[in-house]
Copies of this chain bind each other. A is one copy, B any other.
Amino acid sequence: MSALGQRRWVIAAGRIPPGSDGPEPEYTSRDELSILNSGEGRADVELMIFYSDRDPVGPYEFEVAARRVRNVRVNDLIDPEAPPMGCDYAIVIEASQPVVVQQVRLDSRRAEDSIFSTIAYPASG
């Protein structure tokens, strides 16, 4: 199967809810990117994180192996810097070959946890 999707994606509404209720790591509040590499070659991925009040931080670099999906919790990023919790950000995702990106947020700060997901914006520009 060919590498489906696009090489550049954008999440405008990023946020790690500050606090969790329930057993870790299953119920840890998180902001997560699911990245599918359906192609036959490895995808090298770079994230740039944009903030409201300071310059963008990055690149955060990782790989998605051929024919694999990789779920990256923004909470777990540490190099070059751990993104702060409870802070609005946006993410630009660039990959060395086409991938598909979907965002999932779990907010478990109150026992009545809430989840949302949306396909990221595929930016050709």
Residues of A in contact with B (beta carbons under 8 Å apart): 1-5, 8, 10-14, 22, 32, 34-36, 38, 48, 50-53, 55-56, 67-71, 88-90, 92, 98, 100-105, 107, 110-123, 125
Cα distance A6–B38 when bound, in Å?
Answer: 18
Residues of B within 8 Å of A125, CB to CB, are 2-5, 98
Which secondary structure dominates chain A's binding surface?
strand
The 10 closest A-B pairs by CB, nearest first: A112-B112, A13-B34, A12-B102, A36-B90, A13-B102, A69-B90, A12-B34, A4-B123, A12-B36, A114-B115
- Among candidates B90, B111, B117, B121, residue contacting A13 with C-beta atoms closer than 8 Å: B117
